[in-house]
């Protein structure tokens, strides 16, 4: 049942504690669980509460309904939140803080994916430790079709998970892949038939509820140290490249084309 200690501040994010598992469910099914500003903002405080709750051994992210895990940005807020330079900075900060809070969470996290897992949905999934998916799931990173800049942390997560070749393939082409290809690439850990997804999830919630939490937490911490970025990485250059994308004419064209449901015409300016 839902507990006040883990209550979500927005109806578009459902939360409940089931045994030792805290469930966080994206609840925007009319828009295929597209990620709105209030959803991003709600994640860090929920994880802060879960970090100090000894009952919680695993956090599971999922999407309401059967059609989508999360389908990227909520387009109803796209114009207001991402058109102006200041709004871009605000939106990116909220998203970055939410994703960082998932990745830096000391306890295990798992994405239980069914249906569309697009853009920001992929970012949530790859920020988690584990990913399981139903065979009717579809994955894509459509940034190149929108003219978006993609943050360093998200690119690093993707490359750490699948390697630079597959990461560039997915990113450069913006193509959609099915669950079987996602499993072959290492984007998801395991897949199953849609009707078997609850059973597969229960396998993980049971195991994480029974296994030694300090051992698991230590393994997660050590893995994070192994995957840390080189001190030679020029993060400011990465941020400048992202900002250049958001300030470009191509981004304006990509955003308008997406909203008007037409193909964008990019010029590289």
CATH number of the domain encompassing residue 128? 3.90.226.10
Q: Does residue 201 belong to any structural domain of this protein?
A: no
Looking at residue 72, what is its pLDDT?
82
Closest among 46, 52, 227 to 129, alpha carbons compared: 227
Tell me the whole-structure pTM to 2 decimals.
0.86
Domain ranges, residue 179:
4-193+212-216
If phi over 0 gives left and psi between -120 and 50 gives alpha, with beta otherwise, what is residue 192? Answer: beta
Closest among 99, 101, 141, 105 to 124, alpha carbons compared: 99
Looking at residue 95, what is its pLDDT?
87
Q: Does residue 245 belong to any structural domain of this protein?
A: no
Q: Does residue 109 belong to any structural domain of this protein?
A: yes
Which H/E stretch holds residue 177?
strand 177-178
Q: Does residue 252 belong to any structural domain of this protein?
A: no
CA distance 139 to 117: 5
Looking at residue 2, what is its pLDDT?
43
Q: Does residue 250 belong to any structural domain of this protein?
A: no
Q: Do 248 and 269 form a contact (C-beta atoms < 8 A)?
A: yes
The tens-digit pLDDT sequence of the chain (269 residues) is 344 457 888 999 999 999 999 999 999 999 999 998 899 999 999 999 999 999 999 999 999 999 999 998 775 655 555 555 666 667 778 888 999 999 999 999 999 999 999 999 999 999 999 999 999 999 999 988 887 777 888 899 999 999 999 999 999 999 999 999 999 999 999 999 999 999 999 999 999 999 999 999 999 999 989 888 877 778 788 777 777 777 788 777 776 887 788 888 877 77
Q: Does residue 42 belong to any structural domain of this protein?
A: yes
Q: Looking at the 3D structure of the chain, how many domains does it have? A: 1
Looking at residue 78, what is its pLDDT?
54
CA distance 21 to 111: 12
Looking at residue 221, what is its pLDDT?
93
CA distance 224 to 48: 19
Q: Does residue 226 belong to any structural domain of this protein?
A: no
CA distance 139 to 159: 16
Q: Does residue 97 belong to any structural domain of this protein?
A: yes
Looking at residue 79, what is its pLDDT?
58
**Which residues 6+ apart lie within 8 Å of 218 measured at CB?**
none
């Amino acid at each position: 049942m839902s507990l006040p200690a883990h209550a979500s501040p927005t109806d578009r994010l459902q939360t409940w504690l089931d045994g030792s598992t805290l469930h966080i469910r994206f609840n925007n099914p009319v828009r295929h669980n597209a990620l709105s500003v209030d959803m991003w903002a709600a994640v860090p405080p929920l994880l802060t509460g879960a970090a100090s709750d000894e009952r919680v051994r695993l956090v599971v992210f999922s999407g309401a309904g059967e059609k989508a895990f999360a389908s990227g940005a909520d387009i109803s807020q796209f114009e207001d939140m991402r058109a102006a330079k200041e709004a871009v900075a605000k939106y990116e900060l909220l998203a970055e803080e939410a994703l960082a809070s998932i990745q830096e969470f000391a306890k295990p996290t798992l994405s239980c994916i069914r249906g569309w897992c697009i853009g920001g949905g992929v970012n949530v999934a790859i920020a988690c430790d584990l990913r399981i998916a139903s065979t009717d799931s579809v994955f894509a990173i459509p940034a190149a079709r929108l003219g978006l800049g993609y943050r360093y942390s998200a690119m690093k997560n993707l490359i750490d998970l699948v390697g630079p070749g597959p990461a560039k393939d997915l990113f450069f082409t913006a193509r959609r892949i099915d669950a079987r290809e996602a499993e072959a690439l290492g984007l998801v850990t395991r897949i199953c038939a849609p009707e078997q997804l609850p059973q597969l999830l229960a396998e993980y919630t049971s195991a994480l509820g029974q296994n030694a939490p300090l051992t698991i937490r230590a393994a997660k911490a050590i893995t994070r140290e192994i995957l840390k970025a080189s001190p030679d990485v020029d993060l400011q250059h990465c941020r400048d490249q992202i900002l250049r994308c958001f300030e470009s004419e191509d981004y304006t064209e990509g955003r308008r084309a997406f909203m008007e449901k037409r193909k964008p015409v990019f010029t590289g300016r």
